[in-house]
Structure 1
Amino acid sequence: MGIKDASAQTLDACRNAMQTEQTRSLQATNHWSHVDKAQAHADWDAFYKVLAPLVGMQAPESAEVQALMAQHYALASRFYTPSRDAYIGMGLFYSENPAMRDFHNTYHPQMVEFLGDAVYAYAMGNLG
């Protein structure tokens, strides 16, 4: 089951959770001043370079991809620790925000779709 299989109501709740949690975190941390943003960007880049070859070769819910998604969640958690819904909302944001979609798809043309399903599988299997 992928992110596209979730109900519209669930997806809206996830979008709202991400927005609410990020806004709260940004306010509480002076716009994530605790994060070494240059290092975070370098780590995201390294992560996507490892994930990209798996797009189309592994299922998003495969053990190999899901092990990588634990790293993805850890990277996201440097900024704030997203709830299950907020993490799914992040996957939606990657596809719905043109700049984020373009950025992610530079690593692989189907990265955003794959990542959305991988985020969804990770959230449903690992986050309460």
Structure 2
Amino acid sequence: MDSFSSKYLDGCREALEEEQSRSLAATNYWEKVDRALVHRDWDALYLKIAPLVDSAAFGSEQVQSLIAAHYDIACRFYVPTARAYVGMALHYQENADMAAFHNAYQPGLAAFLADAMSIYARTTLT
């Protein structure tokens, strides 16, 4: 995340808010999303990512493959642009509840996800 300017990151936060708001309005608050399944799928995914926090590189093929699965799950709600996906990564780190949720799997998971998601956005979504 350090390679992005603060102006770009602010734009990513705005993109996340705008895209999610637009999607929520268009889908009656994501009423057709099976949230229980989404949360089970994210749980299974985070259990695979957590052991990698201290040993794998954010941009490794293994990590990026798992982040692709993360993005696919996120797309069940709406398809985030690269900027919105980076905004989501920032939200994981900056929102105390989200950081605590992710870090309960493994200390540092929120920051690890943020860096890995930003690489995925930069290399795959743009």
Q: Secondary structure at the match of 2:32?
A: coil
Structure 2-normalised TM-score? Answer: 0.98
In structure 2, distance between residues paired with 1:13 and 1:42: 31
User: In the alignment, residue 24 of structure 1 is paired with which amino acid?
Assistant: R
Quick one: which of 92, 117, 120 aligns to 2:118? 120
Moved over 6 A (4+): none
The two structures, once aligned, show a CA RMSD in angstroms of 0.6
Q: Secondary structure at the match of 1:81?
A: coil
1:5-62 per-residue CA deviation (whole Å, 9 max, x = no partner) reads 2100000000000000000000000000110001111111001000001111100111
Quick one: which of 20, 23, 28 aligns to 1:22? 20
In structure 1, distance between residues paired with 2:6 and 2:118: 14
Q: Percent identity?
A: 49
User: In the alignment, residue 58 of structure 2 is paired with which amino acid?
Assistant: P
In structure 2, distance between residues paired with 1:5 and 1:107: 26
Gaps of 5+ in 2: none
User: In the alignment, residue 113 of structure 1 is paired with which amino acid?
Assistant: A
In structure 2, distance between residues paired with 1:4 and 1:32: 33
In structure 2, distance between residues paired with 1:81 and 1:75: 10
In structure 2, distance between residues paired with 1:113 and 1:57: 14
Structure 1 residue 99 displacement after superposition: 0.4
Q: Does 1:12 align with 2:10?
A: yes
In structure 2, distance between residues paired with 1:116 and 1:71: 15
User: In the alignment, residue 67 of structure 1 is paired with which amino acid?
Assistant: S
Q: Aligned residue pairs: how many? A: 126
In structure 2, distance between residues paired with 1:25 and 1:42: 22
Structure 1-normalised TM-score? Answer: 0.97
In structure 1, distance between residues paired with 2:45 and 2:3: 26
